[in-house]
Amino acid sequence: MAVCDLLLRGGHVIDPKNSVDGIADVAISDSTIQAVGANLNVEAKRSADVSGLYVTPGLIDIHVHVYGGYNGWLFPDQHSLPNGVTTVVDTGGPGWKDIDDCIETIVKPSMTRVYILVNIVGAGMIGSPEQDVTEMIPEKCAEAIRRYPDHCIGAKAAHFGGPGWESAGGALEAARLSDTIAMIDFAPKPTRSYKQLLERMEPGDMHTHLYASHIPLLDDSKKVNDYVWQARERGVLFDTGHGGGSFWFRIAVPAMEQGFPPDTISTDLHKSSRLAPNAVMPATMSKFLAMGMSLQEVIYRSTQRPAEVIRHPELGHLTPGAVADVAVLDMRQGNFGFVDSGKARLPGRHRLECEMTVRAGRIVWDLNGRSRQDWTSAGNYTQLDA
Ligand SMILES: [Zn+2]
């Protein structure tokens, strides 16, 4: 009989990439997925009964802030791992001047896998220099991205209030120079419109905050603008980026009803979005359930799709041989309510919560100790296990 290090038994596995959607066991050895299937004939060194729960690839949140002081960064592990998130993308915390420091102080010490979108501004998100157009240098941003191909996945533009294209245009140029992607946070001005931005973006580039109140996703009659549809058809991507101010039901609900979901579900997690709107990944995913998106779609847009979008297709699925990043989610049923960035409420019947997280084969979160031995049978124990 085959042997594995960890067996997650009897959960409902949803693995969109492999078209798995049903009761199955997940066997893990060392840091990789060994097998997925119903009633696996495998001997396990440790196992956990996860029946009644959903087992998915580790969640991938492509918009968080773990470096930089603009709105209060949050060190990744304590905010990602308890929420089933095993990979995050810091979106523009560091710029091309402080990328080295970010990698040494945040990326390398974290258990969470952390990728970086390098800010077009030299010093990143540290306040007023973010508006300094002389600090927006595409060549230097591209050089920083190329210097760290294992960590940096593209360029970011954000929070720019000036009349020109130095920020968004600069990030798009840095992405072209480094053969990567750009994520653009955009506030339209009379001199530069949202339509113009989408026309400048290439397939694979992302606009984040699609349901923000300052974005004209909808026209005056609440219809998704034709030029937005055209951008999507051309391959421009739309990311959620919930955040403290960028996710509004009054825009999201009509857009969803017209068949315009985000390509990727993400939190824009930072100090303030962590609080009142509770923009952690399972809560943000639950908001999409409450707006009518199916669970399978929600999982797809939180695992496989973001992995593809950031050009790391080796992540976001449970294929044997893939890294064993796994989320175990409880879908509670009841009378719940969800709050948006405008502090408006939407009722919902389901709430996702993270029960267990496995990162590279290691259990790093186990809310109810499902993988643990009962103390009454453990004798005069010290530390039972890692
Ligand atoms: Zn952000």
Cα-to-centroid distance, 156 and ligand 1 (Å): 10
Residue 322 CB neighbour total at 10 angstroms:
18
Which of 70-84, 301-315, 352-366 is predicted least confidently? Answer: 70-84
Higher pLDDT: 286 or 129? It is: 286
Residue 207 to residue 315: CA distance in whole angstroms:
22
pLDDT for 319 equals 98
> Is the per-residue pLDDT at 272 higher than 90?
no
Residue 127 to residue 201: CA distance in whole angstroms:
26
Cα-to-centroid distance, 330 and ligand 1 (Å): 27
> What's the Cα-to-Cα distance from 299 to each of 33, 309, 317, 349, 383, rounded to whole Å?
18, 15, 10, 17, 35
Cα-to-centroid distance, 319 and ligand 1 (Å): 31
Q: What is the pLDDT of residues 238-247, one digit of tens each?
A: 999 999 999 9
Cα-to-centroid distance, 65 and ligand 1 (Å): 6
Structure tokens at 123: 């010093």
What percentage of the chain's residues is helix, strand, coil (to nearest 5)?
25, 30, 40
Rounded to the nearest integer, the mean pLDDT of the chain is 96
Cα-to-centroid distance, 266 and ligand 1 (Å): 10
> Is the per-residue pLDDT at 368 higher than 60?
yes
Among the listed residues 272, 341, 342, 213, the one whose alpha carbon sits nearest the alpha carbon of residue 69: 272
Provide mean pLDDT across the span 36-59. 97
Cα-to-centroid distance, 63 and ligand 1 (Å): 6
pLDDT for 384 equals 83
pLDDT for 139 equals 98
Higher pLDDT: 71 or 48? It is: 48
Q: Identify whether the C-beta of residue 241 lies closer than 8 Å to the C-beta of residue 63.
A: yes
Cα 145-147-151 angle, rounded to 5 deg: 60
Residue 245 CB neighbour total at 10 angstroms:
19
Cα-to-centroid distance, 186 and ligand 1 (Å): 11
346 beta partners:
338
Cα-to-centroid distance, 185 and ligand 1 (Å): 8
Cα-to-centroid distance, 244 and ligand 1 (Å): 9
Cα-to-centroid distance, 268 and ligand 1 (Å): 5
By percentage, how much of the chain surpasses pLDDT 90?
93
Burial (CB count <10 Å: 0-12, 13-18, 19+), residue 242: buried
Cα-to-centroid distance, 184 and ligand 1 (Å): 10
pLDDT for 271 equals 86
Cα-to-centroid distance, 227 and ligand 1 (Å): 24
Cα-to-centroid distance, 179 and ligand 1 (Å): 22
Residue 261 to residue 136: CA distance in whole angstroms:
32
Cα-to-centroid distance, 91 and ligand 1 (Å): 6
Q: What is the pLDDT of residues 56-111, one digit of tens each?
A: 999 999 999 999 765 578 899 999 999 999 999 999 999 999 999 999 999 999 99
Residue 117 to residue 72: CA distance in whole angstroms:
17
Provide mean pLDDT across the span 299-319. 98
Q: Does residue 204 sit in helix, strand or coil?
A: coil
Q: Identify whether the C-beta of residue 78 lies closer than 8 Å to the C-beta of residue 353.
A: no
Provide mean pLDDT across the span 166-184. 98
Cα-to-centroid distance, 64 and ligand 1 (Å): 6
Domains in the chain: ranges and CATH: 59-309 (3.20.20.140)
By percentage, how much of the chain surpasses pLDDT 70?
98
Q: Identify whether the C-beta of residue 23 lies closer than 8 Å to the C-beta of residue 12.
A: yes
82 phi and psi angles, rounded to 5 deg: -70, -10
Cα-to-centroid distance, 52 and ligand 1 (Å): 34
- C-alpha R_g of the chain: 21
> Is the per-residue pLDDT at 127 higher than 80?
no
Cα-to-centroid distance, 225 and ligand 1 (Å): 24
pLDDT for 242 equals 97
How many residues does the structure list for the chain?
386
